[in-house]
């Protein structure tokens, strides 16, 4: 899953965030690690619920308002981060300065929130894994072990390579200010579109 569906859903945001926010390779590794561990935490919580209760409980959570609220919150948050990167932290707008200072320059908070959103996001691959956990676990601690195994598997992903490569782009073109400004806007636009895509799921 880490090289397929999970990479497709996580890669565009992390790669665009790292490149657009001009993170160095150490910061990029930190962002990848924090995101992966936060997503793993979400899998553990869902695995315990699936093992302790049943598959029906998990599906009821996502079929109710919880899944919609998660999509809406995650979409709006990602949209705001994309706007900040697109405008390059516009100093004239107070909200832009605050978001850049708290969530772009210090990417830990935004990475944790994004990791939780992706980890709890109602997607077909995750629900399939939880269904499997219900079938083979039979208890909450086995559900924890199986979901931990799945989460560790998603860590071994091409995403870490993509994030490191993205951190090199700003250095390669740092001397060309016009290109860097355009590149930053493209990264911001990608994140904006990802946020809008999550929001539109609420109304489908």
Across the range 23-28, mean pLDDT stands at: 80
Range name among 26-40, 87-101, 109-123 with the lowest pLDDT average: 87-101
How far apart are alpha carbons 81 and 39 in whole angstroms?
19
Residue 79 pLDDT grade (very low, low, confident, very high; cuts 50, 70, 90): confident
Asked whether residue 31 carries a pLDDT value surpassing 70, the answer given is yes
Q: Using CA atoms, how far apart are residues 135 and 143, in angstroms rounded to an integer? A: 10
Q: pTM value?
A: 0.74
- Model confidence at 96, in pLDDT bands (50, 70, 90)? low
pLDDT at 54 > cutoff 70 = no
Residue pair 71/198 in contact (Cβ under 8 Å)? The answer is yes
Mean pLDDT of 147-153: 82
Average pLDDT over residues 50-64: 65
Q: Per-residue pLDDT for 89 more than 60? A: no
> Diameter of the chain by CA atoms?
59
Q: Which of 24, 19, 45 is nearest to 180 (CA)?
A: 19
* Alpha-carbon gap, residue 46 to 49, rounded angstroms: 5
- Using CA of residue 104, residue 105, residue 108, residue 109, what is the dihedral sign? negative
Residues in the chain: 204
Please give the average per-residue pLDDT across 163-186, as a whole number: 79
């Amino acid at each position: 899953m880490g090289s397929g569906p999970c990479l497709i859903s996580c890669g565009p945001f992390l790669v665009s965030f790292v490149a657009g926010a001009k993170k160095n390779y150490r910061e990029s590794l930190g962002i990848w690690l924090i995101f992966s561990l936060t997503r793993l935490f979400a899998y553990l919580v869902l695995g315990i619920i699936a093992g302790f209760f049943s598959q029906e409980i998990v599906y009821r959570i996502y079929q109710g308002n919880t899944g919609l609220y998660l999509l809406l919150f995650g979409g709006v948050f990602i949209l705001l981060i994309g706007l900040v990167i697109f405008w390059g932290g516009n100093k004239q707008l107070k909200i832009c300065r605050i978001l850049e200072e708290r969530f772009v320059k210090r990417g830990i908070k935004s990475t944790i929130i994004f990791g939780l959103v992706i980890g709890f996001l109602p997607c077909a691959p995750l629900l399939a894994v939880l269904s499997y956990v219900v079938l083979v676990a039979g208890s909450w601690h086995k559900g924890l072990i199986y979901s931990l195994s799945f989460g560790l598997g998603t860590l071994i992903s091409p995403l870490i390579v993509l994030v490191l490569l993205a951190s090199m782009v700003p250095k390669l073109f740092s001397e060309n200010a016009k290109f860097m400004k355009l590149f930053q806007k493209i990264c911001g636009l990608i994140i904006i579109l990802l946020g809008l895509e999550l929001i539109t799921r609420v109304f489908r």
